[in-house]
Amino acid sequence: MQTDLRPEPAVETERRPWGSFERFTLNEPSTVKIIHVEPGQRLSLQRHRDRDELWVALDPGAVFEVAGERILPEVGDRVLIRAGETHRLSSDGPAVRVMEIAFGNFDEDDIERLEDSYGRA
């Protein structure tokens, strides 16, 4: 990742004879989504009270904005967003996908939008 200011999420890697796997969550409440962002678009600047989020870049061109810091992740890079931190996801050109793992109580009504390009409150 291009920054060393963000804490590294607790992801465990296990080696096997055939290779390895990464475990992102184990026996805890979590919700997993793949977020699709159209070319040049962005989500609202937002925060949540009741959940942390782990974002994993799946395509080149994603932009993560977390707590005022702009991060240009490589494919596979991760960022952990703690409850209460401001964050926004956008595309720096192409359509992009990001895997989001939410830890804690997941509810779309927990979104507090601070800024939004589409006029949503």
Q: What is the DSSP letter of 109?
A: G
Secondary structure E strands in the chain: 12-16, 19-23, 30-37, 45-48, 51-57, 62-66, 69-71, 78-81, 87-91, 96-104, 111-115
39: pLDDT strictly greater than 50 = yes
Q: Which of 35, 36, 45, 63 is nearest to 118 (CA)?
A: 45
Q: What is the model's pLDDT at position 9? A: 56
For residue 75, give its domain range: 12-108
In-domain check, residue 82: yes
111: pLDDT strictly greater than 60 = yes
**Residues near 119 by Cβ (< 8 Å), separated by ≥ 6?**
none
Query: DSSP alpha helices (H): ranges in 43-105?
Result: none
In-domain check, residue 100: yes
In-domain check, residue 3: no
In-domain check, residue 121: no
Q: What is the model's pLDDT at position 92? A: 93
In-domain check, residue 2: no
| pTM, two decimal places | 0.85
Q: What is the model's pLDDT at position 2? A: 42
Residue 98, domain CATH: 2.60.120.10
In-domain check, residue 120: no
Structure confidence at residue 5 as a pLDDT band (50, 70, 90): very low
Q: For residue 90, report the phi and psi dihedrals to the nearest 5 degrees.
A: -150, 170
Q: What is the mean pLDDT of the chain?
A: 89
In-domain check, residue 118: no
Pairing of strands 30-37, 96-104: antiparallel
Number of domains observed in the structure of the chain: 1
47: pLDDT strictly greater than 80 = yes
In-domain check, residue 5: no
74: pLDDT strictly greater than 80 = yes
What integer is the mean pLDDT of 13-33? 90
